[in-house]
Chains A and B, each alone.
Chain A
Amino acid sequence: MPMLEVLQLKKYFATQKAVDDISFILDNGSIFGLLGPNGAGKTTLIRMITGIFYPDEGNILLNSKKFNPDEDAARIGYMPEERGLYKKMKIGEQAIYFARLKGLSRHDAVDRIKKWFVRFEMQSWWNKKIEDLSKGMAQKLQFVITVLHEPELIILDEPFSGLDPVNANLIKDEIFRLAKNGSSIIFSTHRMEQVEEICDHIILINKGQKILDGSVSAVKQEFKENLFRLTAHPLPEDNRSSLFDLLSKKADCITLRIKEGHSPNEVLEYFINRQSLISDFRELLPSLNDIFIRLVEGTSVSRQFQNIQS
């Protein structure tokens, strides 16, 4: 069942079509990667979903009901890219304040904060101020504040920036756990290896428009180039064949592209017939990084301002 439906969303600013007709669907309990180069319109899109901006056109449905920013704020947790905490406020008090703004009672807020603090080993921080924390510590606190009210929809913008690998893993595990418990997560980042590791589904936007939408594996299938790597011994001296193009060769390992109309089985047969002992044969799927670069490259790197008279 779709948790969030974004339908033909548009938001034009004076000099830019920040979001230009974007639609997508987010299922319950899925982790959704929102990708795009700088200035693609990700932040504007997120701000509309969190109710900070009103869309010019289009609809946002939450559990098939029209999204109402005033009532639904408590169902969303948003962690913006630039961390936002009061520097002079004590950590415990600050967490309570944000939780209560999301509608929790003081008692519930304290209970949950204590649980989270134990889980993240932050108990001793309660009376410290933000200005005493390191960047990574503030990051953890921000994450706790984002998920404290158990939102159905969690939006994380670059949640791992500034975290060491141990803490990044801690947060990553929490993200998986939250998704398993039914929360839907929108995850926006530029780190493609994190997306491959975490996300079920991705969309890629560029210049305000959606240019890619699908599950991580489907996207990879879509962009595969029939590349394979084969390790065998001995390799035949002459590898020219009508079945494939040889791309590179390194000791016993070759990379090849199978030509249109042929199958991997035929390639294996070819090597078996030449008395090669095959130890490894695998398909090389493109990384999301490659796909991202391929799709975005060629379009100008930074977005130009344009005049919109409409």
Chain B
Amino acid sequence: MKKIGLIIRREYLTRVRNKTFLLSTFLLPIMIVLLISGTVALSLKGKTTHRVAVLDQNGYFKDYLKSDSNIRFDFSAGIDSLNYPSKNCTAVLIIPVLPEGQKTIYRLKYKKQMGISDINDLERRISSAITDHLIYNKTNLSRARLDSLRSASDIAELKTYSDEGKNSKASSQGLAYGIGYACGFLIYLLTFIYGAAVMRGVMEEKTSRVAEVIVSSVKPFPLMLGKIIGIGAVGLTQFLLWIGLIVVLAGVAQAFIPHELLAQVNHLQQTGGMANASAIQTSEAARQIFEVKQAIATANWLLIIGCFTYYFLGGYLFYASLFAAVGSVVNEDPQEAQSLLLPISMPIIFSFIIMSIAAQDTGGSLAVWASIIPFSSPIVMMARIPYGVPGAVPYWQLLLSMGMLAGGFLFTTWMAGKIYRTGILMYGKKPNWKTMWAWAWKKQ
């Protein structure tokens, strides 16, 4: 046991002291932030205005189809379904002679493909145009009255609360989705990063023949375990540094908020967001900060961080020993590792796909079962937990999932240990899963 401590220490220190550790610890969050803001910026910038020519013979839609920055309707008389590209239109909408009464087919001809959301948007506008037209024509409402009714009816806002017996708590679906997705993604990413690190470490020891020297003083199993625990500790360190980084950055960000604004936010907090005009003038910015603060306060951070740590470690331990087993059987050829890795990476990738479904539909049977079975539970369960325990995830599911994960990694570690023991000293033999399977069940 003293020796396994030595091995853990070496694995940990050689990695943490390495410059790439610090670099990756600070660069990875920056890269993720850049990636997200980059895609958001691109998608905002990429929004172009579609000019849609409307061939409306009866003039039925002229006053009802509303243009905005996304879609502009052009009712000019000179446009037809042939010359619309020359008139700077991306598409032409052909209105049938009798638009109302029964479900009628509208046709859209385009030169440049419009996205699915644009098409949905267009369809919605046509429907509401028909509704408006009908109301205006069949009742005595004036146009002005109709418009004011429309804007007056657009005031509903849904606030959600999770029911926890006596007191209910404000919740934020958007935030829960965001946290769940982010946690699942992070575990997915870290499982691969640290799993691959374990595999590379094992391959390094095997190809440089260090394994043979060490195995003459330590049994292979503690050697493998020491490596896995050491690298897991590196991962945990990195995770803690990230939390520290977030706290520091949040503090720094707050320091940059002007003093007045902060006072306004505090005021909003005291009055519960119901500050009216008579009190301090609250600016739009203060209201936004207040809302973000409110939303963050709705999440159970202690539970989320606790569960994340458990599922990160559990998922890592579950897969790391399998990565170690693969590393132990390959010779110098990285190609061999590639093909052997497939059965390990497939379940991880599938878990990620299931996770993105589970983050939206936490109660679905796919989400429930995938968050209990240890192959996928670390990634999938983290997508469900931010929605609330025991609200979205009953206690029995959480406990069963955690228990099965613990059992799962004990099993994979035990099995991988047997493959590792044989593989680490075997040279020149081209490995495949069949022989590895045989080694796993070999006695002694």
Chain A contacts to B: CB under 8 angstroms: 47, 50-52, 54, 69-70, 73-74, 76, 78-80, 82-89, 97-98, 100-102, 145
Cβ of A4 to closest chain B Cβ, rounded Å: 15
A52-B425, A78-B216 in contact; A97/B6 too (CB < 8 A)? yes
Q: Which residues of B contact A51 (CB under 8 A)?
A: 216
Cβ of B434 to closest chain A Cβ, rounded Å: 13
Which single member of A54, A70, A74, A145 contacts B213 (CB below 8 Å)? A145
**B interface, by DSSP: helix, strand, loop or mixed?**
helix
Complex CA distance for A51 and B218, rounded to whole angstroms: 9
Complex CA distance for A123 and B317, rounded to whole angstroms: 41
A82-B209, A84-B208, A84-B209 in contact; A102/B425 too (CB < 8 A)? no
Q: Which residues of A contact B205 (CB under 8 A)?
A: 84, 86
Which single member of B6, B213, B215, B444 contacts A100 (CB below 8 Å)? B6
**B438, closest chain A residue (CB):** A14
Q: Is B10 an interface residue (CB 8 A)?
A: yes
Complex CA distance for A82 and B331, rounded to whole angstroms: 14
- A73, B208: Cβ atoms closer than 8 Å: no
Cβ of B288 to closest chain A Cβ, rounded Å: 49
Q: Is B124 an interface residue (CB 8 A)?
A: no
Determine the interface band of chain B, counting residues with CB < 8 A from chain A: 20 to 34
- A101, B217: Cβ atoms closer than 8 Å: yes
- B208, A85: Cβ atoms closer than 8 Å: yes
- A102, B212: Cβ atoms closer than 8 Å: no
B1-36, CB < 8 A from A: 3, 6-7, 10, 14
Cβ of B441 to closest chain A Cβ, rounded Å: 14
Complex CA distance for A88 and B200, rounded to whole angstroms: 13
A47-B425, A52-B425, A101-B3 in contact; A80/B208 too (CB < 8 A)? no
Cβ of B424 to closest chain A Cβ, rounded Å: 10
Cβ of B332 to closest chain A Cβ, rounded Å: 12
- A76, B216: Cβ atoms closer than 8 Å: yes
- A52, B212: Cβ atoms closer than 8 Å: yes
Give a binary string over B196-217; 1 marks a CB under 8 Å from any A CB, 0 the rest.
0000000011001111111111
Q: Is B87 an interface residue (CB 8 A)?
A: no
Complex CA distance for A78 and B425, rounded to whole angstroms: 15
Q: Which residues of A contact B10 (CB under 8 A)?
A: 97
> Mind listing 27 A-B residue pairs with CB under 8 Å?
A50-B216, A51-B216, A52-B212, A52-B216, A52-B425, A70-B219, A73-B216, A78-B212, A78-B216, A79-B213, A80-B209, A80-B212, A82-B212, A84-B205, A84-B212, A85-B208, A86-B14, A86-B210, A87-B204, A87-B208, A88-B14, A89-B14, A98-B214, A98-B217, A100-B6, A101-B217, A145-B213
Q: Which residues of A contact B213 (CB under 8 A)?
A: 78-80, 84-85, 98, 145
